[in-house]
Chains A and B, each alone.
Chain A
Amino acid sequence: METVRAFLRHPSGMIGLVLLLVVVVVAIIAPMVFPVSPWEMVGAPFTPPGEDGLWLGGDTLGRDVAAGVAYGARVSLLIGIASALAAMAIGVVIGAISGYFGGKVDLVLMRMTELFQTIPAFVLAILLVATFNPSLLTIILTIGAVSWPPLARLTRAEFLRLRHREFVEAALCQGERTWRIVLGHILPNAISPILVVTSLTVATAILLESALSFMGLGDPNLMSWGFMIGAGRTVIRNAWWMSVFPGLAILLTVLAINLFGEGLSDVLNPRVSRRRS
């Protein structure tokens, strides 16, 4: 409760939360506001914003940009959250094993993590998506697969820190099983920085998905912001609205998540907070 109250007093964190809620609400009500599919060609091609009942204009095929932005919110949030969770799952398991057991296991797992860290995430993502045909599932798994190393390293550091604390030693002495110690004692104490980094991973995941879609490597059946920018990019000189509005949507969403994540970080880890209050 104390944490929630602290967060409510955190100005930039609250701005982030409000913006994020707006995006979530848009994503939820999209089908009610725009009952027709965002792929439906409802107006004339190149309709400027405000004309023909298209608030944000029409794209090259005459599809409603506003509907696309609204439905794109669903895709971006879904892919962002799902792939951040996937990254968290991989990262926490590897980091926990590595940090808890140490020794050779740690050595092997950390070298593997470093291997992944040396490959630029976006290049690896392109490679993976191009190899497995782009679809919702492969994109989520791909983004998860390239985003887990920071989470693994963080989890490992937290586990190393907590591994030899008294309460863990006490649990060990009582003969508790390893999985109970890991899940019951260490993880709850390590979870707050992991949550913060995971929330920030959502933002990078959204950016990655947009970049992939922009390059035409998104799921061709999903209307996503990156896809809209990629499709509108070529005509940006004649029709700025096709790429600007989805671009703004990405900007706002990623900004919101970052503000929210930082607020979360300040509230959950007051001692390492960058806020001087």
Chain B
Amino acid sequence: MNRREFTKAMLACGAAIPFGITRAAGQTRGGTLNTIIQPEPPVLVTALNQQQPTLTLGGKIYEGLLKYGADLKPMPGMAQSWEISPDGLTYTFKLFPGITFHDGKPMTSEDVVFSCMKLLVETHPRARQNFSRVASAEAPDPLTVVFKLKQPFAPFIGCFDCTSAPIVPKHIYDGTDYRKNPKNDKAIGTGPFKLKEWVRGSHVHLVRHDGYYLKDQPYLDEIVYRVIPDAASRALALENGTVQLVQWSDVEFYDVQRFKAQKNLEFTTKGYEYFAPHQWLEMNNRIAPMNDKRFRQAVMHLIDREAFSKRVYFGNAKVATGPISSKTRFYDPNVKRYEFSVDKAKALLDDMGLKPGANGKRAEIKYIVPPYGESYQRAGEFFRQSFARVGIDLVLVGTDMAGWAEKVGNWDYEMTQNLLYQLGDPALGVARTYISSNIKKGILFSNTQGYSNPEVDKLFDEAAITLDAARRQELYSKVQQILVEDVPVAWTLEIEYPIIYDKAFKNIVTTGIGSHETFGSVYKS
């Protein structure tokens, strides 16, 4: 060590002491978080668009009344406390005092009532479902909101996070055409970060909202969301530290393994509990041979889902056992299990009379490959090989996004793959796929496969309006048993998206909403 190095080392020690003290005192202020937004969202107002990139970015700008932990229990958001009347009809929220919008105007209960009852029911399909159950919403004083429901709806308390019910300023939107409001470009919310600039095709720059109501928060000075369309470049940006956080499918599954090993990075699959992405092979139940339960059961036996997870998702997925994700409430593992068995599949197909023809083929089925990237293509190829083992020809058909949505929405398909979020409660995220009242032509993510079973309808309906958790579990266990027996869709995997971030950043994942969260408490050490 020469003299210069020695001085440097001494200085470093000196610097470390006060630094250590501030750290011990709590979270440090300042710092920039660089991350990725992929693909670039069309708009940042989460009330108007609920695609994943919009929610990820808009989650910093717009807040909800509540947050949900990894266990999906409600936590304070903008509401510091809440009360549910014993009959399950009245929900009273007390807001934090001193909440302001980014334009400086105060946020009051009037804004909440306006957002939930007027704006969101027009622009947010999921919120429309939830708030259509409300008989009246009132704002008795600026910090109190009271919702009165028409009838009890147990998961109503799960409808208030920033993705389900973002609060927008009434003074900007009331009486305007919401989607054409010129202030949409400004994206004015109450979140810890506000929009500074959005350079299309390049980046979205968020800076600290100084009037934020939680003491000292946000700790970060700014967050920059970079638009990087190419997957390899995104991986490279994380590798060389240009970005310090990636979420959802920013980094492709085949790269995830590599980053798990990189020392300065933290890897987690937590922070997706609210969404619990659940994936299945969708079969149009209206068309032969998919209209026969035995055929659909055979499909469950045909797909080696362990291998599917390993080969297509590189192990970033867990085998699904039924309609409800193991990460969601009311999951019941005690259902019929379909182990990988070509013989059992063959027996079922023989039993239903779908025997091999002269050329050894049992059937030819068209499979529409969802145009959402490579893993979907690989999945189609995996399924085709699985079906070939019993003499079923799966013909892959490529299409574009509009084509896929059009075909699946209008039931003009035989098989495809689908992935839906569970949204924290079976009544919100699961029932929609199986109840017959949700067989709606032209609407994606409804009961598109056309499964209809009055008993399932009854169980889902009753479970939604039952308040007692034990009774709900009973109902959902029953419904899971029936569905797993009937196999309306062949559940494949619970996809485990990663969140990978630089270890210097703390509190990245604090709730079940993960990277959609406000990031007010994120700090750099």
Query: Does A257 lie at the interface of the complex (its beta carbon under 8 Å from any beta carbon of B)?
Result: no
Q: Which of B369, B397, B399 has the most CB of A within 10 A?
A: B397
Contact with B along A127-147 (1 / 0, CB 8 A): 000100110000000000000
Q: Is the CB of A216 within 8 A of B377?
A: yes
- In-complex Cβ contact of A60 among B258, B378, B400 (8 A): B378
Tell me whether B311 is interfacial, beta carbon within 8 Å: yes
Do the beta carbons of B311 and A235 come within 8 Å of each other? no
List chain A residues, Cβ under 8 A from B385.
37, 39-41
Q: Return chain A residues, CB-CB under 8 Å to B178.
A: none
Given contacts A61-B381, A133-B397, A134-B398, contact A220 B369 (CB under 8 A): yes
Asked whether B398 lies within 8 Å of A217 as measured between CB atoms, the reply is yes
B161 within 8 A of A: no
Bound-complex Cα distance A130 to B385 (A): 25
**Chain B residues whose CB sits within 8 angstroms of the CB of A62 once the complex forms:** 311
- Which of A30-63 touch B at CB < 8 Å? 37, 39-41, 45, 60-62
The listed residue (A39, A45, A237, A238) touching B381 by CB distance below 8 A is A39
Shortest CB–CB separation between residue B312 and chain A, in angstroms? 7
**Beta-carbon contact of A231 and B374 below 8 Å:** yes
Q: Which of A60, A62, A133, A217 has the most chain B CB atoms closer than 10 A to its own CB?
A: A60
Instruction: Judge whether A220 and B311 touch: CB under 8 Å.
Output: no
How many A residues have CB within 8 A of the partner chain? 20
Q: Tell me if A3 is interfacial: C-beta within 8 Å of chain B.
A: no
Interface residue count on the B side (C-beta < 8 Å): 26
Question: Hey, what's the 0/1 contact readout for B376-405 against A, CB within 8 Å counting as 1?
Answer: 011011101100100000011111100000
- CB <8 Å contact, B400 and A130: yes
Contacts of B377 in A (CB 8 A): 216, 220, 231
Complex-state Cα separation, A61 to B382, whole angstroms: 8
Tell me the dominant secondary structure on chain B's binding face: helix
In the complex, the answer to whether A60 meets B254 with C-beta atoms within 8 Å is yes
Q: Is residue A117 within 8 Å, beta carbon to beta carbon, of the partner chain? A: no
Among the listed A37, A216, A231, A234, which residue makes an inter-chain contact with B388, where contact means beta carbons less than 8 Å apart?
A37
Residue numbers in A under 8 Å from B254 (CB-CB): 60, 234-235, 238
Q: Give, as a whole number of angstroms, the nearest-CB distance from B444 to chain A.
A: 20
Q: Shortest Cβ distance from A129 into chain B, in angstroms?
A: 9
Complexed CA–CA distance, A62 and B378 (Å): 11
A238 cross-chain contacts in B, Cβ below 8 A: 254, 258
User: Contacts of A118 on B, CB cut-off 8 Å?
Assistant: none
How far, in Å, is A181 (CB) from chain B's closest CB?
Answer: 47
CA of A234 to CA of B384, assembled, Å: 22
Which residues of chain B are near A221, meaning CB under 8 Å? Answer: 384, 395-396
Q: Is B347 an interface residue (CB 8 A)?
A: no
Per-residue interface assignment for chain B, residues 226 to 265, with 1 indicating a CB less than 8 Å from any chain A CB and 0 otherwise: 0000011000000000000000000010100010000000
Interface residues of A in 130-183 (CB under 8 A from B): 130, 133-134
Contact between B399 and A133 (Cβ–Cβ < 8 Å)? yes
| Minimum CB–CB distance for B247 against chain A, Å | 19
Question: Which residues in B have their C-beta under 8 angstroms from that of A216?
Answer: 377, 398
B361 is an interface residue with CB less than 8 A from chain A:
no
Residue of A nearest to B378 (CB): A61
The answer to whether the Cβ of B286 comes within 8 Å of any Cβ in the partner chain is no
Taken together as a complex, chains A and B put the C-alpha atoms of A37 and B382 apart, in Å, by 13
Give the distance in Å from the alpha carbon of A220 to the alpha carbon of B396 in the complex. Answer: 6
Please, how many angstroms separate the alpha-carbon atoms of A132 and B71 in the complex? 48
Query: A31 → chain B, closest Cβ, in Å?
Result: 15
**Contact residue among A37, A220, A234 (Cβ-Cβ distance under 8 Å from B231):** A234
- How distant is A123 from chain B, measured CB to nearest CB, in Å? 16
Chain B residues whose C-beta falls within 8 Å of the C-beta of A37 in the assembled complex: 385, 388
- B171 in contact (CB, < 8 A): no
Q: What separation, in Å, do the CA atoms of A45 and B374 have in the docked complex? A: 15
A→B interface (CB under 8 Å): 37, 39-41, 45, 60-62, 130, 133-134, 216-217, 220-221, 231, 234-235, 237-238
B contact residues vs A (CB 8 Å cutoff): 231-232, 252, 254, 258, 307, 310-312, 314, 369, 374, 377-378, 380-382, 384-385, 388, 395-400
A-B contact pairs, 6 of them (CB 8 A): A41-B385, A133-B397, A217-B398, A220-B377, A231-B377, A231-B378
